[in-house]
Amino acid sequence: MPRGRALWDDTQTRRRSGAKGLALVADRYRDRAAGRGHDWALRQGRGGPPLDARLGGRWVHTVRSVAPGRSCATAVMLFVYHSNRLERLLLQLHQVLAAAPLADPFVAEQIVVQNPGMGRWLAQQLAAVDGVAAHLDFPLPAAFIWQVVRAWTPTLPEQSAFERDALAWRVFGLLPGRLHEPAFAELAGYLAAEADAAVSGLDPEASGARAARVAAAGTDGAGESDQRVLKRWQLARRISDVFDQYLVYRPDLILAWEAGTGDDWQARLWRDLVAAIGGNHRARLLTDLAGAIAAGQPPVAPALLPARVALFGLSALPPLYCSLLGRLAERCDCHLFLLNPCLEYWADIVDERGQARRRARALATGQPDPTTLLDLGNPLLAAFGHTGQNFLDQVLELGGETDDLFIAPDGEHLLARLQRDVLTLTDPRRADPAQRPLLAADDGSLLVHRCHGPLREVQVLHDRLLAEFERASVAGVPLAPRDCLIMAPDIDVYAPFIEAVFGAAPAGRYLPWSIADRRLGAGQPVLGAFRELLALPRSRLTASELLGWLAVPAIGRRFAIDAAALARIRTWVDETGIRWGLDAGMRAGLGLPADPANTWSFGLRRLFAGLMLPPDSGLYGDCLPYSDLAASEGPLLGQLQSCVERLSYWRGELARAHPAADWRHLLTRLLDDLFAPEADEEALLQGLREAIDDLAWQASATGIEAPLPPTLIEAELAALLERSAAGHRFLSGQISFCNLVPMRSIPARFIGLLGLDGTAFPRTQHPLGFDLIARQPRRGDRSRRQDDRYLFLEALLSARGHLHLSYTGRDQRDNTLKVPSVVLAELLDCIDRSYRWPTGAAPLPSQHLVIEQPLQPFSPRCFDAGDPHRWSYAAEWLPTSGDAGTAPPAFSGGPLAEPSAPGALAQPQEAMPRLELADLIRCLRAPAAWFLEQRLGLRLPMPIAELADREPFSVDGLDRWSLAQELLRLAGGDELGDLPGDALDQAEAWLRGAGRLPQGAAGSLVCARETGRVRGFLGHLNRLSSPAMEPVEVDLALPCAGVRLVGWLTGVSADGLLEHRLGRCRAVDLLALWVRHLALNAMAPAGVELASRFLSEAQGEATVQRLAPVAAPDAHLDDLAMLFQQAQRAPLPLFPQCSYTWAATEDMGKVCTAWVGGWGGGPPGEGEQAAVRSAFRGQPEPLDQAFRDLAEQVFAPLLAALD
């Protein structure tokens, strides 16, 4: 029989027989208190109700038993308190502290906790009972054990020389001197491998040759490349991590190495470390301490040994720490408050999977089936409780006095039943469905939500929290935000969505919230910018990078650049052609041609030349001045120049290796030079300065004198910023979002677990190839995967009212199913085999407990009052959701009211209102945009193009069209200045001065090709042109529309109206030409042919479209003016390209192609335009009969007049 089982059975026997001495500890505390003049009576809560009044449930056992071998006269001993409720353990802790206060009021109570979050919860709960909680220390187990060791060895420092960080620097310094030895050939081969071929196994050289190259670099590491130094540091980090685990979980191995056993590289390296540092490490010190206590040696520094220590809520301890705890109980009272999910002995139960493995091994070896002797117990406890099993056995082997303080959960809902089954070690599964107990149809204590991604998970969580707050309020037991705890495997994945959903909620739905455990650099722009600046030597200094740094408030303040100034700088950068690189020298250093085009120096030269020279001054050397610059913008340009200069300086400084002490001064100066923080940012930077100081101190203290490359410093500080701030902002009185970490599942009325995806939880930690613990595991070793399974069990048992589980169960793009976490699948399987649903065609509970959430928050299913588990409180989505099964309402339900109606949008009233010709053309070109902008006063979002970070390598598509337009303007003497002679002869110099051409011969070829294209187009234009006449004034009365059409016609000659476009002719171009053509025919100026032509060019071929004279132009203009008036009242279903296509072909397939667009990488169609989508929102088919009729009305006369 296992020793743990024997100890448990002995304890239970004495408990049932009513053994004497159950109140031993209370009696002794009463005697101590009486001797000090204290009242032994327990203090009741002055700051809130007594803890036992807030526990709920039914008390199962509250008795104490004394372990064999313990005498009632023993002065000090180990007390172990078992309970399935953390609140009950808290009450017992309060009783222990209150029964016998420490003799010295200046000595703090020592309460060892698994993580800082548990310490924060304890302090808050104790303060709620007594009104105040002060002078309480909450050390972590390792820190407490080191304090105990120092009580017998006071000469030890507060921090061990074998701490993980210090150990890494020691290994880093020792490795070069050992890599030439045959035992270290494996490490030498790894360090010699280059980052590309060697790592991937493609290096043709043998590992021995690579090791020889490393050895040739010198035993001090001199001559190593920065990349190899970084790899050596990363290797040292991993070795120190493994050695740190050996000290705690393999002390026998460490001591054997020191005794001379082992000749591999790990044993040799450890002996080198001991020779350099000494033997005062945890493995030896704890072994010696256990012997000293067993021999009765008193502590040398008694002040360091606490009079009493409580260990609260620990879920695991290394075996070495556990054994020391048993020894420590001989010197001081040790109270272990153990969260035990089950009141029976369960350390020997084996889940079905484990039994299957043992059965398979027995069959393979011909042994009898051992599973007949194994107990399954509760399937959830057996499947998830492996970590707790090991720890329970370790605690039972310590002996001591035990108290059972279990409480059976109240209620008949699913969550309470699962918790009771675990408590009593009951297997609730039944093979016959008819024997399974019924669940209530409205049971919502445990629900699983299958969502389409993290954003939907958070949106669903917000709605479910609002529902729980509402339900609790109606039931008369209000739910407070502090009663809600939400956890995720990686909270940083969900943090942006939490901020977007919870932070943007309006006042009526706002829930106070806070996020704990975020990485130091996550969500902190100032720390993120510092991390990026560390990589300056490897940065290309792209336009987006530099502007991104200036967008960080602390950096913007340093250079006096606010948001408005940054927007102006963005315009400069875009229009001057700045792409990347400081100057030609930086590019030459990267092995590229020393061409300054599109660098920061190139752009700044253009800007300063434009500031100093008069507009349209032409080329200045090889630079084209940027003329769109006001004199008042000179200071801002100077700040931009200063920023670029500082970055250039720091790029050079950070590119060189420096000793650790110099790195400290250098990085501190960088922070002062580039950042101007405010108060909250200063706290972050101060923490960063302290981390830099600590890094430099560790390196110097371990004897690292050689210069450290920038890649190493960057990697170490980046790793620091990736660490989470444990416990920060946890339990701040709001809804707490945090990581899933051991003993973080404190009791809460609402517990939510996000991100239970099949690939995300349980988390997997792959061991290193040289990790000896992973090669030969032992009982008590930690496993990340098993720890996560126990975390899930803790969360299940800690929920007091509702357990909310969610995962990404469907793909956002194609709606395919995704598997949930294995722990979630096992939980649902257990529920399905244990209970049945009372109603419906689906008897399995999981078919009702797993809620399929819609893809979008505005789905009609989210506003179905008969579906409470999907109900959404987001009223902003309600107008677009419509009734279930119907389309969302249209943007415009009908024409706007008459101007005389109250509240209607009024038009200007005149005897004969004027209609500008230009407005008529603008309206017909884009009726939807005109209605939204001019009639409703809405501002349509303008797409902001991303800054280009690459210089032009080729010119095609839109870039080619833009370049051709630039050449066309250049030939006409517009915008770029007047040139003598043929302007196109100097086009290449001008375009290179503007940074528009690819570098080298490729740019010359592009310029020659486009120049030839423009010359050909101008030739066609010149042949069609005749001397221009004065502009023709338009003033026409349109009686049907009741308006006067006014405006001017330009480009009129004796041959009529001529317009052109260097590109293909579009429907909007023809429509605009048609309106002007009608105006020309209506005015009929003398000596002018009443014809219009449009010259276009596409694919190198020129095309002329000609409109013949029209018989009744006034009538056509009157019709178009009436359409303009209709467009003032409702969006016109006139989409020029689609309408033209229908009028010309009556082929709806071609119309749909023009509507959707985007084929072959082309531009999106008219149906994708923001104005069209907004104005015609809610209409199931915009391309209806009204669209076809209007297309015929507008374009049929145009097509009839078109030659």
**pLDDT value for 806:** 95
Which residue, 457, 446, 445, 513, is CA-closest to 490? Answer: 457
**HEC assignment per residue over 626-670:** CCCCCHHHHHHHHHHHHHHHHHHHHHHHHCCCECHHHHHHHHHHH
Inform me whether the pLDDT recorded for 549 exceeds 90. yes
User: At residue 952, what are phi and psi to the nearest 5 degrees?
Assistant: -70, 125
Lookup: tokens for 530: 């510092």
Provide CB contacts within 8 A for 893, sequence distance 6+: none
DSSP letters for 819-837: -B-HHHHHHHHHHHTT-B-
- In DSSP terms, 623 is beta-bridged to 620
pLDDT at residue 74 above 70? no
pLDDT of residue 902: 33
Residue-wise pLDDT for 918-941, tens only, equals 999 999 999 988 888 888 888 777
Which tens digit of pLDDT belongs to each residue from 881-912?
A: 444 444 444 445 555 544 333 333 444 444 57
Stretch 53-82: mean pLDDT, rounded? Answer: 55
- Smallest Cα–Cα separation from 314: which of 60, 119, 92? 119
- Residues β-bridged to residue 722: none
Q: CA–CA separation, 580 vs 1083, rounded Å? A: 55
Between strands 58-59 and 407-408, the pairing is antiparallel
Q: CA-based angle 36:40:42, to the nearest 5?
A: 140
Which carries the bigger pLDDT value, residue 726 or residue 581?
581
| C-alpha–C-alpha distance, residues 618 and 982, integer Å | 15
For the chain, the C-alpha Rg in angstroms (whole number) is 40
Token pair, residue 1162, equals 């082309």
Per-residue pLDDT band for 795 (boundaries 50, 70, 90) equals very high
Edge-to-edge strand order for the sheet containing 1092-1098? 1052-1053, 1056-1061, 1092-1098, 1101-1107
pLDDT recorded at residue 290: 86
Q: Is the peptide bond before 762 cis (omega within 30 degrees of 0)?
A: yes
Report how far residue 355's alpha carbon sits from residue 1189's, in angstroms, rounded to the nearest whole number. 76
- Joined tokens for residue 803: 């357990």
pLDDT at 205: 41
Edge-to-edge strands, sheet with 136-137:
63-65, 401-404, 78-83, 333-339, 308-312, 109-112, 136-137
**What's the pLDDT score for residue 1001?**
76
Neighbours of 1021 (CB within 10 A): 16
Alpha carbon distance 1014, 969 (integer Å): 10
Domain annotation for the chain: domains and CATH numbers: 3-149+304-345+396-408 (3.40.50.10930), 164-279 (1.10.10.160), 444-519+728-765+783-853 (3.40.50.300), 525-700 (1.10.486.10)
Q: What is the pLDDT of residue 1077?
A: 92
Please report which confidence band the pLDDT of residue 47 belongs to, taking 50, 70 and 90 as the band edges: very low
Please tell me the predicted confidence (pLDDT) of residue 744: 67
Q: What is the mean pLDDT of residues 811-821?
A: 90
Does the pLDDT value for residue 211 go beyond 70?
Answer: no
Q: What integer pLDDT is reported at residue 724 of this predicted model?
A: 61
DSSP letter, residue 1066: P
- Rounded Cα gap, residues 321 and 112, in angstroms: 12
Q: What is the mean pLDDT of residues 1042-1067?
A: 89
From start to end of 90-244, where are the E strands?
109-112, 136-137
Helical H segments across 204-278, by residue range: 207-216, 226-249, 251-258, 265-277
- CA angle at residue 595 from 589 to 597, to 5 degrees? 125
* Phi, psi of 82, rounded to the nearest 5 degrees: -105, 135
Q: What are the distances in angstroms from CA 4 to CA 284, 391, 397, 1180?
A: 27, 11, 6, 71
Mean pLDDT of 1150-1156: 88
Q: Which residues are CB-contacts of 961 (< 8 A; sequence separation ≥ 6)?
A: 1062, 1063
Q: Residue 932 carries which DSSP code?
A: I
Closest CA to 907 of 1047, 707, 1048, 1041: 1041
pLDDT for residue 457: 95
Mean pLDDT within 368-393: 78
**Vertex 239 angle, CA 237 and 244, to 5°:** 95
pLDDT tens digits, one per residue of 484-524: 999 999 888 999 999 999 998 888 889 999 888 887 766 68
Distance from C-alpha of 1088 to C-alpha of 1081, rounded to nearest angstrom: 10
More confident residue, 1091 or 200: 1091
| Per-residue confidence (pLDDT) for residue 619, from 0 to 100 | 77
Whether the Cβ atoms of residue 1079 and residue 1036 lie closer than 8 Å to each other: yes
User: What percent of the chain clears pLDDT 70, i.e. is strictly above it?
Assistant: 83
Tell me the C-alpha distance between 89 and 339, whole Å: 8
- Percent with pLDDT over 90 in the chain: 30
Q: Is pLDDT above 90 for 305?
A: no
CB-CB contact of 396 with 386 (8 Å): no
1169, amino acid identity:
Q
